[in-house]
Amino acid sequence: MPNATFHFPPDFKWGVATASHQVEGHNTNNQWWAWEHQPGRIAEGQTSGQACDWWLNAEADFDRAAAMGLTTLRLSIEWSRVEVAPGQIDTAALERYHEMLQGLRDRGIEPMVTLHHFSDPLWLTEKGGWTNPDVVPYFSRYVDQVVQALGDLVTLWCTINEPNVYATMGYILGKFPPGTQHIRTAAIVLRNMLKAHGAAYRTIHQRRDDAQVGLAHNIRFFDPADPKRIRDRAAAWIQDLWFNRTTLAAVWQGWWLPPLGFGPALSVRRTLDWVGLNYYTRDLVAFDRKGDIAGLARTVHDETAEPLDGGYGELYPKGLSRALEQLARLGLPIHITENGIPDADDDQRPRALLLHLHQLWRTIQNNVPVKSYYHWTLVDNFEWTEGWTLPFGLIELDPQTQTRTPRPSSDLYSAIARGNAITPELLDAYAPELRPVLLPG
Ligand code: FCB
């Protein structure tokens, strides 16, 4: 069908995703701010600084999202702003979030609110952060305050963003604060995060019957570098177990898998109304006794694949449908809570966007219940350890001057969102080389 249009379901929602520390600016009361100011932690010694200035003026970017025809936006609440010291709530901060969420509603944009996206209040860090089991009641107490203050404007709640990434980056690879490299501690952290998710699920539902609560799970494929080598397969299996399988086994099936434990996880079982997928790329894994990943393996890249900028991995759109098909087994509504690529000159993003959305379309045709897609991200933001060097925005940002320059991808994404479809005209205009691939014949 050389001229087919790929239509999305009529109630499908198009959005963008963000996180408080990456966009708000001057989040001085969290552990990331402290980490950024230590020498050698962030690429080129950069800091988040004013970020995208959302604390003072998120509304200017909400206008841009609305002008693009977007109907949903994912943002996160900064715990360190809301609970400035243990039990001490800053009501003015909650009022500011209320104003932002009202601003979204006024523009016809439905908010999705994440309650934890990598950043922790400094007071929590001083108490041992997520290694301390008390974090479970602390998190619930904070969540309760947020839901009381903002629940009139929010239905879609995302408790915690990527517990697996937080635990891996902070406690195995040591690239995020606190820079620990210790698998047993990582397992404690992940387990506490999943328990906190379960407790937050109940807290939110106690306040609001209408809430729909989930979490954002990052799925990354670990495929054996050489499928014929049993040791590569074993190394890939171990990484898949740790990174992809432990989280959902706990919060859906109600079972702790190693290294989190082994046995029933009754307190967190069935604590999802929907599941969120953050999907970026895949790794090929080779067994290596001196490897950097837990001393067992090393990541290699498929030389035939197209590399992403900044060593971020390979362009692997097929992974999006693979991940969605895995999640479909849970029988829950799915939101794609993040997907995007780093690409300053936008020479790959239009093609990447079209290829990923085509995979999404195919998966939806197979009756996988995907409800929305949130592109990461609207405007370049502070990309954690990579600082400002890995720009993921549909819109380019100069963080010094706060000047915004839309990339071609923002027009493409806007056209897809407005038309709720990928048309042959969009392929011709943005990635003509894809026409024979997606529309053969
Ligand atoms: C995800 C994070 C998000 C952003 C993207 C690029 O793992 O959730 O904050 O850094 O990667």
CATH number at residue 70: 3.20.20.80
Work out whether strand 13-17 and strand 370-375 pair parallel, antiparallel, or are unpaired. parallel
| CA–centroid distance, residue 162 to ligand 1 (Å) | 9
pLDDT at 294: 67
Residue 232 lies in a domain: no
| CA–centroid distance, residue 279 to ligand 1 (Å) | 10
pLDDT at 160 over 80: yes
Residue 321 lies in a domain: yes
Residue 84 DSSP SS3: strand
pLDDT tens, residue by residue, 231-247? 999 999 999 999 999 99
Backbone angles phi, psi at 350, to 5 degrees: -60, -45
Asked whether the beta carbons of 15 and 375 are under 8 A apart, the reply is: yes
Pocket test for ligand 1, best of 16, 118, 338 (most atoms within 8 A of CB): 338
Q: How many domains does the chain have?
A: 1
Cα–Cα distance for residue pair 112/15, rounded to 1 Å = 10
Cα–Cα distance for residue pair 383/97, rounded to 1 Å = 22
pLDDT at 335 over 70: yes
Instruction: Tell me the two tokens of residue 74.
Output: 């994912």
Q: Which domain holds residue 18?
A: 6-220+265-283+313-438
| CA–centroid distance, residue 425 to ligand 1 (Å) | 31
Work out whether strand 212-224 and strand 156-161 pair parallel, antiparallel, or are unpaired. parallel
Cα–Cα distance for residue pair 317/391, rounded to 1 Å = 19
| CA–centroid distance, residue 2 to ligand 1 (Å) | 36
Half-sphere exposure of 109 (CA within 13 A, CB side): 30
pLDDT at 1 over 80: no
Q: What is the pTM of this model?
A: 0.98
Residue nearest to atom 4 of ligand 1 (CA): 383
Residue 162 lies in a domain: yes
Residues with CB under 6 A from ligand 1: 19, 22, 161-162, 165, 218, 278, 338, 376, 383-384, 392
pLDDT at 11 over 80: yes
pLDDT tens, residue by residue, 397-422? 999 999 999 999 999 999 999 999 99
DSSP-assigned states of every residue in 342-383:
--TT-SSHHHHHHHHHHHHHHHHHTT--EEEEEES-SB----
Rg (CA), the chain: 21
pLDDT tier, 303 (very low <50, low <70, confident <90, very high otherwise) = confident
Residue nearest to atom 10 of ligand 1 (CA): 383
Burial string for 298-327 (b: 16+ CB within 10 Å, else e) reads: bbebeeeeeebbbebbbbbbebbbbbbeeb
Burial string for 12-35 (b: 16+ CB within 10 Å, else e) reads: bbbbbbbbbbbbbbebebbbbbeb
Enter the DSSP assignment of 288.
Answer: -
Beta bridge partners of 88: 85
Burial string for 161-183 (b: 16+ CB within 10 Å, else e) reads: bbbbbbbbbbbbbeebbbebeeb
pLDDT at 372: 99
Work out whether strand 6-7 and strand 421-422 pair parallel, antiparallel, or are unpaired. antiparallel
Backbone angles phi, psi at 431, to 5 degrees: -160, 70
Residue 157 DSSP SS3: strand
| CA–centroid distance, residue 78 to ligand 1 (Å) | 16
Name residue 208's amino acid.
Answer: R
Residue 291 lies in a domain: no
Give the containing element (helix H, strand E) for 281.
strand 275-287
Q: How would you classify residue 171: left for phi > 0, otherwise alpha for psi between -120 and 50, otherwise beta?
A: alpha
Cα–Cα distance for residue pair 51/70, rounded to 1 Å = 22
Pocket test for ligand 1, best of 27, 162, 215 (most atoms within 8 A of CB): 162
Residue 308 lies in a domain: no
Q: Which atom of ligand 1 has the smallest separation from the CA of 342?
A: 6
Residue 151 lies in a domain: yes
Residue nearest to atom 9 of ligand 1 (CA): 19
Identify the residue with better confidence: 300 or 199: 199
- Report long-range pairs for 290-297 (Cβ below 8 Å, ≥24 apart): 291/235, 293/172, 293/173, 293/239, 294/172, 294/183, 294/238, 296/235, 296/238, 297/235, 297/236, 297/238, 297/239
Q: Which atom of ligand 1 has the smallest separation from the CA of 165?
A: 7
pLDDT at 302: 84
Pocket test for ligand 1, best of 244, 279, 376 (most atoms within 8 A of CB): 376
pLDDT tens, residue by residue, 32-84? 999 999 999 999 999 999 999 999 999 999 999 999 999 999 999 999 999 99
Residue 258 lies in a domain: no
pLDDT at 295: 61
Cα–Cα distance for residue pair 106/4, rounded to 1 Å = 35
Residue 137 lies in a domain: yes
Nearest by Cα to 123 from 247, 242, 31: 31
Q: Which atom of ligand 1 has the smallest separation from the CA of 162?
A: 8
pLDDT at 179 over 80: yes
Cα–Cα distance for residue pair 403/416, rounded to 1 Å = 25
Q: Which atom of ligand 1 has the smallest separation from the CA of 22?
A: 9
Pocket test for ligand 1, best of 243, 383, 389 (most atoms within 8 A of CB): 383
